[in-house]
Structure 1
Amino acid sequence: MAHPSLDSWLSYIESQHPAEIELGLDRGLAVLQRLDLSRPKHKVITVAGTNGKGSTCTLISSYLVRQGYRVGTYTSPHFLRFNERVALDSQPCSDSLLMEAFAVVEQARGDIPLTYFEFSTLAGLWVFSQQSLDYWVLEVGLGGRLDSVNMIDADVAVITSIALDHMDWLGDSIEVIGREKAGICRPGKPLVNGMYQGPASIAQVAAEQDAIYSEKGVDFRTEVTASGMEFRGFGQHLVGLPLPKLPQENVATVIAALIQAEVKIDHGILSQTLTETTLTGRFQQVANDPVIYLDVAHNPEAAGTLVQQLQGLGRQPIAICGMLKDKDIASVMALLENSFASWHLLDLDVPRGSKADHLKQYLPAALTHQYSSMAEALAVASDEARKEQRAIVVFGSFITVTEYLSLN
């Protein structure tokens, strides 16, 4: 079936399966076998975790591209354009190539129903297989073991963090969620655990799968010194590394993943990668009058990181916040309640979106204001920010950040 535009294709694939999410590999693997895709020349690096996946994928891909390699990067979700999910050498894929990929997957699937994410993942993998790439860097969408990205065997598996999120799908304890995410590892291949003292289930799965296991704090680490950052691990000692623009806690994991992928570490290229690589919505400054930051923090672990980042601003900022109702709103608000001078709460007009009135119950009433649109919230918050010389932080969901970006 031909479609005249990428938007038409996206509308079509959204309608092909009754469930937005249905974990499992059987459907995707059946279509993948029909596609008969080739692998990259060197390695597939697959990244799972509750937080930090996007930053880790971006830093790994950015370093590899700077080294002169050809790299395909698959991430999700996107902000403004679907093309953001499928990148070639750190640049979004063209509409025409994605449309061709969707047509190939549509023909190959026959009568096999695919979810939006399964269809998208297969299309992204097909694009990569056509490009004679050196590396694929794949971000897991949800969980690990049963996520569509796990259709492809990883040469290096990476876990960035484990926290209580998506519990309806992944389980209600850190140990259970850790086991699900560790399901991306393969026998005889490296599994890099990017957590200090993470759940024991990750090492257990690695042992069961006979994977080559390494753990932050045991096999590798970074620390901040007077001369910058220092990395130790796998027989390597790197000193004088600059602090990154992206979250610092991911740097050790990125370097470890590159080493385990048998990539040579060049101090100069790594330093350039750390100082120049940015990612939308990761405490990203996007405006100066007033100063505005965007952050996709939407669970307690990410909220804790945001608290630390806000301390560097000096004067308490102003919040524009919208969240999904299936997130741990109470814990996020409890962590951030004392970090903002005022709260401008936003209705998210999507099926899982929370209303501002629901968010308000977790905060001091005197500090809250409610809005039905980002435009209205931003206008009022901006006036307040200019008068009081404060910054604005837009956060709470990828959707909240997207609503800001769509206005600008």
Structure 2
Amino acid sequence: MYLRIPLILFLLASTSPAPSEANIVARSSKSIARAANRLHHRALKHSAGLARDLRVAFNGALLEQPSNLGNARVYCVSNPTGGLSGPAVPPPNPTSPAPPQQSQPSNGTSTSRTSPSQSSTSSGPSSTSAPLPSSPWKLLQAYQGNSFFNGWDFFTGGDPTNGQVTYVDSGTAQSSGLTEINSAGHAIMRVETTQQVPVTRKSVRITTHQSYTGGLVIMDSVHMPTGCGTWPAFWSNGPNWPAGGEIDIVEGVNDYSNNQATIHTNPGCNLAGTNEFTGTLVGGTNCAAVQTGNQGCGVRAQETNSFGAAFNNIGGGVYAMQWDNDGISVWFFPRSSIPGDITGSQPQPSNWGEPQAFWPASGCNPFQFFNSHSAIFDTTLCGDWASGVWGATGVPGQEQSCAQRTGVATCEDFIRNNGSALTEAYWEVSYVKIFQMPS
């Protein structure tokens, strides 16, 4: 850049409001320096480069700058809130290696991150994101916010799994502080924490009015019950169990850290040889409840944060179950890896990769062994499973048995006398959504 004396004089005359500065050339060098200094302060507001050039010109006896400055680059400092640099790009979450480059990558997993301390309810992509492709799955029913408990029946019968609980009705659950909608708009379902009880503790089991044959069920949970003696589950079943089938989406006991998804059916359903899932088969391939002592066909997740305290420590996540002509699949997405099409309520299961568990139609016709399901939440205490493994170890999360950990010989004795140990035995659920394909 060249800066010549006539141009400088013109700038001085035009930018200075004082009439005496119009004759700046006739003043002494001391006056010139003072005027230049005043001009320098004004120029700083417009261009640091212009101020620098004026200083060079005046301090150098109004000489031209060296010609090699003609190639000097001009650097613009970007405004962190936008400005000339365009819309601000939010900084990446510390758990994310880089800011998202597109609304949804090829594997169907959103690169946006939500920290465990933030609310898990997501309103989907922002207004500046590219619109999500329309999903072939259409929303049938959503349970969330203040109306979450609308559309559920509160089960009050005896616990079929022989747990140390008394399931209570809606009014009792609310008046006892076992259910509520918290300030984040999440549904809370607790067990009774009175320090000592004679036999059982009050708990909650709810079942959707809405039933479905085939579908996609998505559940976002921030927290699930955990601790010795607990046995929580999110599952579904049909009429005349086991004729209508049972699909356990989330289930485990005590201090387990890896989810177990399981199906239970009438005889004739088998897990065909397949490696199209990421979990590990537990038990056999015969899914018939009556022929396996109700063991069914279970698949244990490989993710050590898919259940219990480890799940809660990451702010939870999303479980999805798809039931279609190909079979039955279950996926788990930690809070930091929930696909954008799920948060945007346009689910695209074909983009989600291998599921945690999969029971293909080739071994078990999903519309022969399963029908008319309702979704269910429950938390029982002890019961056939949690009591049965009270003294056992070897399952992820249960490196020490509950008998050793608590110093109590039986699950039932522990539950009756240690209500304060059950403060983590609660569900906190953001939403449940049920989708179906249009007929």
Q: Bin the TM-score by the shorter chain.
A: under 0.3
Q: Which has the higher helix share?
A: 1
Q: Which has the higher strand share?
A: 2
- Name the structure, 1 or 2, with higher relative contact order (CA <8 Å, separation 6+): 2
TM-score normalised according to structure 1 size: 0.23
**Which of structures 1 and 2 has the bigger CA Rg?**
2
